[in-house]
Amino acid sequence: MGMLSLSDCVEVRIPAPWGHISGRWYGNRRERPILAIHGWLDNLGTFDRLIPLLPDYIGVLCIDLPGHGRSSHLPPGMHYSIYEFVYIIPRVMHEYGWKKVSLLGHSLGGIISFFYAGLAPHTVDMVISLDILLTTPLRDCELSIKKAAQDMEKHLVEEDRREDGNLHEPPSYTLPQLCKALAKGSNNSVTPELAKHLLYRQVTKSELYPDRFFFSRDGRIKFYHSIHTERGLAAELAGRIGRKPYLIIKGSMSPYLGVECEEPMSILAHNNPHFEFYEVAGGTHHVHLHAAEECARYIVPFIQHHRPPVLTSWSLRGKDLELSSKEQERYLARNRSLSSKL
């Protein structure tokens, strides 16, 4: 079995009413790939260290969510919410004519995957969730209301800033400064050394100052509306997912996947031989980025078990071995002959 290569990819642009969804399709493009969805404020570069550790017989389509990376921003006056992000999955499926989808999600991408799998379980064949399951309510109702009100005001301020940015270039910084800013914004879950994997898709070179860049992602996504999933809703969604193959990997140093997730995780695991949960020692929230090898130890066999190679995707010494149509027909004829004798 060979491994995927970051250089073996094609850039994709999936049309949407407001513009397009950008992505990169790695590896096998003859079969339905795994759809990989990044976390909040990130982009598809978050999977750069994980991709080369995955088997090459199956492709991986990594996308930038709206407002992130190189995907189009929503029109002025619109507000980002978890609903728009969840609807991206069936939009991608419709574009490529998929009846099923395999999901790999980190953080916000994992929440999106959980919600979609609960809403349309008949279209999902497996889910891999990195350091997340769902967003749980703030325990302090007063604090929750206060935060929602502040986000509403900040969103309006960001809209004014966005309009001004159409006339004036935003503040720009050197790459080392941006690396430090990204690390600080992630609570050091992404180190300055790893920030390069995210920055190349979310910064634009300044036209005013040499060697300076500014963030090109939509500032409004900082104040998107998230669903703080109440216990009853979380339990119902988990129950609808049923016995679907579901892998969750947690970073041991991450605050996510706490006691609030115990009930839906218990429901996912109940009578489900295809549910797996692992914890990576020393892992932070971006566990797949700084501990990619450890994550791959669990992800690769999970993929091999639930999305094994099909006939036309076998590989030999890392190179695809494609059978001609006549060879495939002979292979199927032999199988039919053997079956008739059994």
Do β-strands 246-251 and 275-280 pair in parallel, antiparallel, or remain unpaired? parallel
Q: CA–CA separation, 230 vs 232, rounded Å?
A: 6
The type of residue at 270 is: H
- Side-chain-facing half-sphere of 247: CA atoms under 13 Å: 23
Catalytic residue among 71, 107, 113, 254: 107
Written in H, E and C, the secondary structure of 271-328 is CCCCEEEEEECCCCCCHHHHCHHHHHHHHHHHHHHHCCCCHHHCEECCEECCCCHHHH
Residue 212: both structure tokens together:
């300076």
DSSP label at residue 219: G
CA–CA distances in Å: residue 328 to residues 3, 255, 321, 332? 25, 50, 12, 6
DSSP states of 53-81: GSBTTS-EEEEPPTTSTTSPPPPTT---B
Q: CA–CA separation, 76 vs 270, rounded Å?
A: 45
For 169, residues 6+ apart whose C-beta sits below 8 A from its C-beta are 206, 207, 208, 214
Instruction: Kindly calculate the radius of gyration of the chain based on its CA atoms and give it in whole angstroms.
Output: 21
Cα 1 to chain centroid distance, Å, stands at 24
User: Are the CB atoms for 206 and 48 separated by under 8 Å?
Assistant: no
Catalytic residue status for 107: yes
Sign of CA dihedral 172, 178, 180, 184: positive
Q: Which residues are catalytic?
A: 107
